[in-house]
Structure 1
């Protein structure tokens, strides 16, 4: 992306009181300051040069690549076989995604920008889609979709993708990005842009009648049913305000406890600020997020009668190639796999 530069200037507010404060994503630093409104950037998605040939070249069938076949090139770099998916016709080693976004925004409208965790999660999704059939023909829902980049990339293999966010300005921008890319990405999925306010209880109110022009981002009853039976949820960079984090997990609990079993893949960036109360540089937003999650080791030591609604595992993506070229990953982005348990754990003696 022509305006990209590695730095860190993300939203760090613990609340929305500074709603007029303008913030800039580290992805946009270096952009000319005159670009204060919508701007279209091109992100290049390409397979690394050391990606091996398809499964057939290894004497394997199309369905054999559920995980990468290990191997090293002459420089010692990891070789990853390319999977040929029946759902990605005409796929190639390089393609572009055009994303409309703002260069700056107020904190409540940070969904108008592209953030680092969004691009890291894009790499993660692209890699899983390339090396497995996990996302083939699934229903998926992105929470806090913002520009919609992650969901659009998943739409190349999924059956249905819901891009959800709050506020007409963000939703209009997301819908514009669907329009810009739906054909060029050869999306196999039906892509729906829908309003979802985490401060309102799930499920959202279904629209009555068939008048989408006046209720463009509202849900139908059928869509709500589909969302509740989704296999995968996605979220990127939605942790920057404690009250928003609380609302996010409240929505997540209601959504994941209904319909089919779901897995959430969530990317977030630790954001550090100096705290007067701690007299130290801390990542309080990250700590608040972690208070909702029990990892597998913690579950083993839970006392009898303890509730653990969300069970998480931090994913190691250090060996995943960088498919989206125009950014630097940095060291503070994490990806979590989160499942809903909502069960009482008993001591095992």
Structure 2
């Protein structure tokens, strides 16, 4: 029998429900498929490609045809045409309710915030192009599925066969969105076990190979959303992050979280203790540095949710004297 830790025991019976459950019938409790739409502005070179096809020398595309003068010889400034957009749909199978230990079966608000950020970076720059990325505590895999449009490889990780099976289904549902060269793998990553994994002889579907571990250690982008809700799991997460991030000095973690408030008898007030525990890692002694990203500067690309005021997005790095 598998030994259960204190977190598993405490979370086994408590039921929770995310506020993100699009179009779900009343009193529905089983797995449900929500379709999230997003709109990305097409870059100027894609506009040009749409106008010119494969012939950039086409007269209709020449600069001379665009620049015009009036009868007095003054330049006529061409007005920008209406922005063109690429519209995508991500189909995500998820639960409506779950025990706390299986919250990865649901879609949470912070996951959609992080999705917006990834889409924003993809629309403005090539920062995520051809990167190796790792999503930790991926749950439904939504963010990893989106970054697979431009990444070289994405490892979508979580813990527990039920969650990983659901995530793998979502990867299959949305494989048409992936870049042609992107490798997408769903893998088991239990933060309370050693990283890197000790046993590469396992034949499990979500097991690691030594080559994959080397690839993760060389990754430059880490992603995590809604993983801050238990102090014990937060400690376990940051232990794994330390080991992963010290392998590559340029690694950046983008972490989205929702501050959850509860009444504390110790404080006799409503406090977000999980959030405070997270902030305790942003100290020189623990090696993590970070900045909170201004969400007002990030457009909402995914339409089907409301952000609210209690969600934050952090960009973090890790610097230690010796790894």
TM-score category by the smaller chain?
0.7 to 0.9
How does 1:276-295 map onto structure 2 within 5 Å?
276-294=265-283
1:114-159 C-alpha deviation (Å, 9 max, x unpaired)? 0000000000000001101100000000000000000110000000
Summarize the Cα distance change of 1:15–1:146 in structure 2 as closer, same or farther, 3 Å threshold.
same
Report the Cα offset of residue 31 of structure 1.
3.4
1:63 equivalent in structure 2: none
Write the distance in 2 (CA, Å) between the matches of 1:317 and 1:34.
Answer: 33
Write the distance in 1 (CA, Å) between the matches of 2:201 and 2:19.
Answer: 42
CA RMSD of aligned residues (A): 2.5
- Secondary structure of the residue aligned to 1:318 is helix
Report the Cα offset of residue 92 of structure 1.
5.4
1:238-261 C-alpha deviation (Å, 9 max, x unpaired)? 000000000000111111112453
* 1:266 and 2:255 matched: yes
* TM-score calculated relative to the size of structure 2: 0.82
Summarize the Cα distance change of 1:215–1:57 in structure 2 as closer, same or farther, 3 Å threshold.
closer
* TM-score calculated relative to the size of structure 1: 0.76
How does 1:48-87 map onto structure 2 within 5 Å?
54=44
* 1:339 and 2:317 matched: yes
1:228 equivalent in structure 2: 217
Write the distance in 1 (CA, Å) between the matches of 2:148 and 2:30.
Answer: 27
Report the count of equivalent residues: 284
2:29 equivalent in structure 1: 36
Gapped runs of 5+ residues in structure 1? 1-13, 59-78, 83-90, 295-305, 345-349
1:159-203 C-alpha deviation (Å, 9 max, x unpaired)? 000000000000000000000001245564110000000001110
1:277-300 C-alpha deviation (Å, 9 max, x unpaired)? 111110000000000013xxxxxx
Gapped runs of 5+ residues in structure 2? 1-6, 49-79
* 1:314 and 2:304 matched: no
1:329 equivalent in structure 2: 307
- Secondary structure of the residue aligned to 2:186 is strand
Structure having the higher helix fraction is: 2
* 1:27 and 2:17 matched: no
Summarize the Cα distance change of 1:184–1:340 in structure 2 as closer, same or farther, 3 Å threshold.
closer
* 1:103 and 2:81 matched: no
2:110 equivalent in structure 1: 117
Q: Residue 121 of structure 2 is aligned with which of 115, 122, 128?
A: 128
Report the Cα offset of residue 22 of structure 1.
1.2
Write the distance in 1 (CA, Å) between the matches of 2:87 and 2:46.
Answer: 20
Tell me if the contact between 2:195 and 2:240 (Cα under 8 Å) persists in the aligned partners: yes
* 1:172 and 2:161 matched: no
1:308-347 C-alpha deviation (Å, 9 max, x unpaired)? 4101111112122111010001111111011001139xxx
Report the Cα offset of residue 208 of structure 1.
2.6
Write the distance in 1 (CA, Å) between the matches of 2:305 and 2:178.
Answer: 20
1:146 equivalent in structure 2: 139
Summarize the Cα distance change of 1:192–1:52 in structure 2 as closer, same or farther, 3 Å threshold.
closer
Report the Cα offset of residue 34 of structure 1.
3.9
Tell me if the contact between 2:42 and 2:123 (Cα under 8 Å) persists in the aligned partners: no
Write the distance in 2 (CA, Å) between the matches of 1:274 and 1:266.
Answer: 25
